[in-house]
């Protein structure tokens, strides 16, 4: 269909123009505006590759789909342009000095190492305690389908400790990724071994976002640390191949497990690109809002979202957003981007006002998070906060559901900063 060709072309044009505008404004791939713009483009990436071949669009007329897509591109364009005008001198200076934020002395590197090691130890302790301290059972269950391991079931049943160690584990992977490229000697070798171990844990956990962000962090650090173009390209190529292999492995096997006898199913491995289908589901939400006339209760939505950080072990009957609340807009375990959630509460017309406002506000959070660059492990914390912003745009419910990792990262950076400051004061007093 000719209309499909032109609409796909319009999406490609938006992506190219948005990235050019953002690069012209930021001149730095670590600048919050460039990262924010790249996130919006990532949300469109599945459509750019697959086009209209998605079951969410099956019963929607092409005319309606085109209309909703124009609305979404307009919202994204407003977000890119409006946020480009946000400028604070202190933040801009820190963003330009991002490369320097990746350099720390040996003492700080050791502190980062032991912090990351502690997080890894907690996650391993969780797994062992869930299976009566059997190492063999931990290995076997790790290869089962996600959600079916004993520690997963305990987390789903309200065990806060079991849930929180999984959530903060990416902080450890980011730390070891930094040390693998920045440290020297045994510290580097030990960090590389532990990074491989954490990647194995993250891959078997089943969530692709932490794995993708770990490889992204490695890529950024390679660009920052490697001065020779050839070495940089070789290392980036190696990381890219490993990322494609790991993410494809997860996509093919995470729902059935990595042991055929565990699932009774045989799956053939193949390299696969698959971004989540949130963009398609947001289009479906636009259509459902238009033709059903139904709306979510915004007060109930944000009220339950606000209650989410309260552990279920303290409040067993804590309200949840379930299929009954979501009605026909979506299933409870999928995401529709902030676009789909806003349109479910306001309708298509008002979403053109509220969606850009939300995008602008969440960008302000990302923009001001650049200030953590001044902290030890600041670059890693900044990337975690960027991941938090991405998850919030993927679903506004993640504003509290995904909040533990950035809070833990900020707490770790603050602790490291206080330790470094204390040692500096001690050294100054000793010299006196």
Interval 295-346: pLDDT, tens: 999 999 999 999 988 877 778 788 888 888 988 899 888 889 999 999 999 9
Answer left, alpha or beta for residue 50, where phi above 0 means left and psi between -120 and 50 means alpha: alpha
Average of per-residue pLDDT values in the chain: 85
- Cβ contacts of residue 413 below 8 Å, gap of 6+? 372, 375, 376, 377, 378, 381
C-alpha angle 4-5-6 in degrees, rounded to nearest 5: 95
Q: What is the pLDDT of residue 430?
A: 45
Q: d(Cα 95, Cα 368) in Å, to the nearest integer? A: 10
Q: What is the pLDDT of residue 320?
A: 85
Domain chopping of the chain, boundaries = 2-97+274-375+390-406, 105-263+415-428
Residue 390 DSSP code = H
CA distances in angstroms from 195 to 55, 119, 127, listed in the order given: 38, 12, 18
- And the tokens for 422? 């204390």
Q: d(Cα 321, Cα 304) in Å, to the nearest integer? A: 7
Q: What is the mean pLDDT of each run of 10 residues along the chain (432 residues)?
A: 86 95 89 94 90 90 95 97 93 75 71 88 89 87 81 76 83 87 87 91 84 84 78 85 84 74 53 73 95 92 90 80 88 90 95 96 94 79 90 93 88 77 52 51
Asked whether the beta carbons of 104 and 376 are under 8 A apart, the reply is yes
CA distances in angstroms from 6 to 48, 66, 70, 391, listed in the order given: 12, 10, 12, 30
Q: d(Cα 262, Cα 145) in Å, to the nearest integer? A: 8
Q: What is the pLDDT of residue 103?
A: 63
pTM of the model: 0.83
Q: Is 335 helix (H, G, I), strand (E, B) or coil?
A: coil
- Identify which of 393, 403, 387, 386 has the alpha carbon closest to the alpha carbon of residue 309: 403
Asked whether the beta carbons of 46 and 280 are under 8 A apart, the reply is yes
- Cβ contacts of residue 8 below 8 Å, gap of 6+? 47, 48, 51
Q: What is the pLDDT of residue 426?
A: 47
DSSP 132-199: TT-HHHHHHHHTSPTT-SHHHHHHHTT-HHHHHHHHHHHHHHHHHHHHHHH--HHHHHHHHHHHHHHH
- And the tokens for 157? 């049943």
Q: What is the pLDDT of residue 169?
A: 86
Asked whether the beta carbons of 165 and 159 are under 8 A apart, the reply is no
């Amino acid at each position: 269909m000719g209309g499909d060709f032109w609409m796909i072309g319009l999406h490609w044009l938006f992506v190219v123009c948005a990235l050019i505008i953002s690069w012209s404004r930021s001149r730095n791939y670590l600048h919050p505006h460039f990262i924010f713009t790249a996130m919006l483009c990532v949300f469109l990436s599945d459509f750019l590759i697959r086009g209209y071949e998605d079951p969410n669009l099956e019963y929607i007329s092409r005319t309606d789909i085109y209309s909703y897509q124009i609305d979404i591109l307009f919202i994204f364009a407003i977000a890119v342009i409006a946020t480009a005008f946000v400028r604070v001198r202190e933040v801009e200076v820190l963003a330009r000095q991002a490369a320097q934020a990746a350099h720390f002395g040996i003492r700080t590197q050791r502190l980062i190492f032991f912090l990351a090691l502690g997080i890894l130890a907690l996650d391993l302790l969780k797994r062992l305690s869930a299976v009566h301290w059997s190492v063999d059972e931990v290995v076997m269950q790790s290869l089962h389908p996600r959600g079916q391991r004993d520690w997963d079931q305990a987390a789903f049943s309200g065990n806060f400790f079991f849930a929180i160690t999984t959530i903060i584990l990416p902080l450890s992977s980011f730390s070891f990724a930094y040390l693998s490229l920045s440290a020297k000697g045994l510290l580097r070798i030990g960090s590389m071994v532990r990074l491989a171990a954490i990647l194995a844990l993250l891959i078997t956990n089943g969530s692709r976002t932490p794995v993708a962000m770990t490889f992204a962090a490695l890529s950024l650090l390679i660009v920052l640390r490697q001065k020779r173009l050839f070495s940089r390209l070789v290392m980036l190529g190696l990381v890219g191949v490993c990322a494609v292999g790991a993410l494809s492995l997860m996509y093919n096997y995470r729902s059935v497990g990595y042991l055929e006898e565990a699932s009774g199913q045989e799956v053939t491995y193949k390299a696969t690109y698959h971004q989540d289908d949130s963009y398609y589901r947001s289009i479906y939400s636009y259509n459902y809002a238009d033709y059903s006339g139904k709306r979510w209760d915004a007060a109930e939505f944000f009220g339950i979202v606000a209650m989410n950080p309260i552990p279920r072990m303290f409040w067993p009957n804590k309200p949840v957003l379930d299929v009954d609340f979501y009605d026909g807009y979506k299933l409870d375990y999928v995401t529709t981007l902030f676009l789909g959630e806003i349109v479910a509460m306001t309708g298509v017309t008002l979403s053109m006002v509220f969606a850009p406002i939300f995008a602008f506000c969440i960008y302000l959070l990302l923009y001001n998070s650049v200030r953590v660059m001044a902290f030890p492990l600041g670059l890693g914390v900044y990337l975690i906060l960027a991941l938090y912003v991405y998850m919030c745009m993927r679903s506004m419910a993640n504003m509290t559901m995904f909040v533990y990792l950035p809070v833990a990262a900020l707490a770790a950076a603050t602790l490291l900063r206080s330790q470094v400051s204390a040692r500096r004061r001690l050294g100054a007093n000793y010299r006196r």
